[in-house]
Chains A and B, each alone.
Chain A
């Protein structure tokens, strides 16, 4: 009769942030200062739990955790295999690193009387995202998706600018449409199979692939998910949502939220449906593959034209989500490794870039690219961090971006999808163009007016440089992660057969 830490790990990853967000509301009424410390503590705890979780999964195989000890098809199950253990670790580590960045920026950008609510909602947002990744129950995916998106609407609007209300509302409408598509699709699948459990559903679906209900359900789910993750023609909510939100929010959201939806899509493609459905019955794989190429190229094109650096990064996100989808739909294990590696790489790089932009905004209250002239003289460390992340995004060797693109191109060539390889290379070129514009402004222009060193607070620089070092570490020593992802890809290909 004692607490079983190992058994309860999957639940702890979710319920600890969940209950602490409520504690933050309660504590915040009496003492606002304390809340930011609780926030950091929770972020670190979650990271530790997920680290132990991935170790356990790696050593002992997939975990099935039953809530309230009700066995699977009846009760709700948390299913952790090597695939989502990896995603959970990436999410919670990014959250932990960024939590140290938050307090200073929050004081500047969030109204004082809302700061404790802000921390609570952010924690709840992460709870939602972690919940989506960990759960093995279809309806639970939808519930957590709603938690994550409702908190996201609130986080975008919390800064109190006029544009942020508009973007938040925009996202609310489109996000709700996407989520209701997903729930409709899940409803259809439930109608056909009578179960909501992921593993159970895969088995029950196999003989029903010709059924119209299943096809309609699948179509709804994939369209809804494309909307939620801003795949190219359905991306119109994303630039506003990232550009008009407070900078810590855009950093956290860009690093986590759309990628989680990509994870759900991969889950549906491989664990709920099998590849024979995705290829033969409803050609989801092919459609998404070509859509992702369109996303990769057009996202980069749209990014070139922006004069607001946050908008530019947001459009770049539209392109980058294409890489992940492309890797998942390539039907080759190298492509899958590339896509999953990009899941991590993009979280590091785009998160880092938004952190840099947050530092710039903290000092200069501007996000216009023309205002960055001669930034190198004013904020050398910030500028240098930007350069590192920009090189990573372009995919220069020794940065993490190179590894993921290498595997994606390898996968494209292996499966004979030359158009994919061309798309990746073209998009890298375009990425170089739009990042060069900013780098040019920062390093090679004389600053206007007087030059003085602006303060670069250590609490903002440490998280930024932690991510910058991660860029190099995963660019030079990718072997362990690649080994791990090889196993993941193998498992996915096997269960998806």
Chain B
């Protein structure tokens, strides 16, 4: 589809906005509808659009498959790491108020944002992997 000038141009214009929008959804997760899961899905949708127009190879040139696999693990690890940090800082697991340098008020919002980032990373990488693995030609 690389020759369709309309598609190519439209994608080039839209993809950056989709990606930015996903970050907005992520950042507003704790106070309004949205969050890591929704943001991750939108982020993945942006890349899926990109790779539908420019091809899978073009996408894998930017982020390799192993990198995507690693991202699925890294996201969950960020989530759990927040829990571990609060645990090793004298609190219970995922007690945001006990994150270093934070109190009850700031901890709850920043801690939540941190775990949402973890969710975001895992969701977008899993979505992309699902899309590419199901779309494989050789089954």
The interface of chain A, by Cβ under 8 A from chain B, is 1-4, 7-8, 11, 15, 18-19, 22-23, 25-26, 29, 65-69
Does B32 belong to the interface (CB within 8 Å)? no
Does B69 belong to the interface (CB within 8 Å)? yes
A69 and B88 form a contact (CB under 8 A): no
22 contacts between A and B (CB under 8 A): A1-B89, A3-B88, A8-B87, A8-B92, A8-B93, A11-B87, A11-B93, A15-B80, A15-B93, A18-B76, A18-B80, A19-B81, A25-B69, A26-B70, A29-B70, A68-B86, A68-B93, A68-B94, A68-B96, A69-B92, A69-B95, A69-B97
Which residue from B77, B84, B92 sits with its C-beta under 8 Å from A7?
A: B92
B80 and A3 form a contact (CB under 8 A): no
A22 and B90 form a contact (CB under 8 A): no
Does B83 belong to the interface (CB within 8 Å)? yes
Identify the closest chain B residue to A5 (Cβ).
B87
Q: With a CB–CB cut-off of 8 A, which chain B residues contact A18?
A: 76, 80
Does B22 belong to the interface (CB within 8 Å)? no
How distant is the Cα of A26 from the Cα of B97 in the complex, in angstroms? 29
**Interface of chain B residues 75 through 117 with chain A (CB within 8 A):** 76-77, 80-81, 83-84, 86-97
Identify the closest chain B residue to A19 (Cβ).
B80
CB distance from A169 to the nearest CB of B (A): 16
CB distance from A84 to the nearest CB of B (A): 18
CB distance from A123 to the nearest CB of B (A): 12
How distant is the Cα of A65 from the Cα of B96 in the complex, in angstroms? 16
The interface of chain B, by Cβ under 8 A from chain A, is 66, 69-70, 72-74, 76-77, 80-81, 83-84, 86-97
Q: With a CB–CB cut-off of 8 A, which chain B residues contact A15?
A: 80, 83-84, 93
Q: With a CB–CB cut-off of 8 A, which chain A residues contact B88?
A: 2-3
Contacts known (A15-B84, A29-B69, A29-B70); A22 close to B77, Cβ less than 8 A: yes
Identify the closest chain A residue to B91 (Cβ).
A69
Q: With a CB–CB cut-off of 8 A, which chain B residues contact A11?
A: 83, 87, 92-93
Which residue from B69, B77, B86 sits with its C-beta under 8 Å from A23?
A: B77
Count of inter-chain pairs, beta carbons less than 8 A = 61
B92 and A29 form a contact (CB under 8 A): no
Q: With a CB–CB cut-off of 8 A, which chain B residues contact A1?
A: 89-90
How distant is the Cα of A69 from the Cα of B111 in the complex, in angstroms? 14
How distant is the Cα of A15 from the Cα of B72 in the complex, in angstroms? 17
Contacts known (A67-B92, A67-B94); A23 close to B87, Cβ less than 8 A: no
How distant is the Cα of A29 from the Cα of B92 in the complex, in angstroms? 32
CB distance from B88 to the nearest CB of A (A): 5
Q: With a CB–CB cut-off of 8 A, which chain B residues contact A8?
A: 87, 92-93
How distant is the Cα of A128 from the Cα of B70 in the complex, in angstroms? 22
CB distance from B97 to the nearest CB of A (A): 7
How distant is the Cα of A3 from the Cα of B88 in the complex, in angstroms? 4
B83 and A29 form a contact (CB under 8 A): no
How distant is the Cα of A8 from the Cα of B98 in the complex, in angstroms? 14
CB distance from B71 to the nearest CB of A (A): 10
Q: Which 8 A-B pairs have the closest CB atoms?
A: A11-B93, A25-B73, A22-B73, A19-B80, A68-B94, A1-B90, A26-B73, A69-B95
CB distance from B123 to the nearest CB of A (A): 14
How distant is the Cα of A8 from the Cα of B90 in the complex, in angstroms? 10
Q: With a CB–CB cut-off of 8 A, which chain A residues contact B74?
A: 22, 26
Q: With a CB–CB cut-off of 8 A, which chain B residues contact A19?
A: 76-77, 80-81, 84
Q: With a CB–CB cut-off of 8 A, which chain A residues contact B69?
A: 25, 29
Q: With a CB–CB cut-off of 8 A, which chain A residues contact B97?
A: 69
- Identify which of A2, A4, A68 gathers the most chain B CB atoms within 10 Å of its CB: A68
Q: With a CB–CB cut-off of 8 A, which chain B residues contact A65?
A: 92
Identify the closest chain A residue to B97 (Cβ).
A69
How distant is the Cα of A254 from the Cα of B92 in the complex, in angstroms? 34
Known contacts A3-B90, A8-B92, A15-B84; can you find 7 more A-B pairs with CB under 8 A?
A2-B90, A3-B88, A11-B92, A15-B80, A29-B69, A68-B86, A68-B93
